[in-house]
Amino acid sequence: MRKKIVVGNWKMNNTVAESVTLATDVIEALGEGFSGCDVGLAPTYLALDAVGQVLEESDIQLVAQNCHYENDGAFTGEVSARMINAIGCSYVIIGHSERRQYFGETNATVNLRIKKALTEGLKVILCVGETLAERESGVTETVISTQVREGLEGISHIGAIVIAYEPVWAIGTGKTASSAQADEVHLFIRTIIGELYGEPAFRLVRIQYGGSVKPSNAAELFAMPNIDGGLIGGASLNAEDFAAIIHAASVSYVLPRYWDSERALCPGPKIGFPLAKSAPWAAILWEIIPSRTSFLSGRPRCSFGVT
């Protein structure tokens, strides 16, 4: 069972003082109600230290917005994974579309950055997503497949990676992918992960959605079987809105994938799904009995074909 993860990407917003205030407000707005979901905040580099101190007494993770692939050296304006680790970050976002679009990031440099971040013990949020022109010309799957495969080339530690699907046309535009549109791409990504890393990774890798997520659409997105939380831009700059999105993820942690069993994530043997319809708790038991596949069918529970 995958725990959802919601991260606020503050991008190039807020001074250090404003970041500290916002982080404090987020903690206050959350209260006690988010234990069912992982939460992170990604302020500007300048505010990592100060925000990290605010988050110390909370369960919220400190996240960096990028990192370089060398430890040190003549790379003016860059910050290394080693520095990010030393300041207390547990995650780093890599390959955000704004980095790709405005700063020349390629799948090859994304791959180098991920490798270095993992070497430094950081967990990585790898961002992928197609532009509007790519979607309209029907190459979404090709683009996503290339970004995932080349981004992860030579990387074995998939357990330390979260993938964020962020369609470029939905970022900061107010246009959200429909929950069905997003879930389709998430399942496609999950299938690639299954091909590359095997069935456990297919089941366990977390795939966030990003692109105009707001309190009003979060619950529907997070109820989809392959959407494991969100990478939130604009709405994370408001503590109340961000807290509402986190609460939506916390509520949808356990049950919806069983209630919503028609679209459940595994296209393999269907025996778990009728169970889910009639008795959600039986379905949860089904999920946690590891030996069920061999005694019932002798086949793995999930196939990797794209549905």
Interface positions with ligand 13P (CB under 6 A)? 9, 96, 166, 171-172, 210-213, 231-235
Contacts of 146 (CB under 8 A, 6+ apart): 107
- Angle, CA 131 vertex, CA 218 and CA 190 arms, to 5°: 60
Nearest to ligand 13P of 95, 272 (CB atom): 95
B/e letters for 140-174, b = 16+ CB within 10 Å, e = fewer, are bbebbbebbeebbeebeebeebbbbbbbbbbbeee
Q: How far is the CB of 217 from ligand 13P (least distance, A)?
A: 11
Nearest to ligand 13P of 121, 172 (CB atom): 172
Q: How far is the CB of 146 from ligand 13P (least distance, A)?
A: 20
Q: How far is the CB of 298 from ligand 13P (least distance, A)?
A: 43
B/e letters for 255-267, b = 16+ CB within 10 Å, e = fewer, are ebbbebbebbbbe
Nearest to ligand 13P of 229, 234 (CB atom): 234
Q: How far is the CB of 221 from ligand 13P (least distance, A)?
A: 12
By beta-carbon distance, which residue lies closest to ligand 13P? 233
Nearest to ligand 13P of 126, 235 (CB atom): 235
Nearest to ligand 13P of 42, 265 (CB atom): 42
Distances, alpha carbon 91 to alpha carbons 2, 80, 88, 237, 307, in Å? 17, 13, 9, 19, 32
Nearest to ligand 13P of 65, 191 (CB atom): 65
Contact 175, 214 (CB under 8 A): no
Distance separating alpha carbons of residues 279 and 48, to the nearest angstrom: 46
**Residues designated as active site:** 96, 166
Q: How far is the CB of 197 from ligand 13P (least distance, A)?
A: 24
Contact 227, 182 (CB under 8 A): yes
Contacts of 134 (CB under 8 A, 6+ apart): 140, 143
Distances, alpha carbon 80 to alpha carbons 40, 62, 69, in Å? 20, 16, 7
Q: How far is the CB of 95 from ligand 13P (least distance, A)?
A: 11
- Angle, CA 204 vertex, CA 203 and CA 206 arms, to 5°: 115
Tokens 């994974």 correspond to what residue? Answer: 81
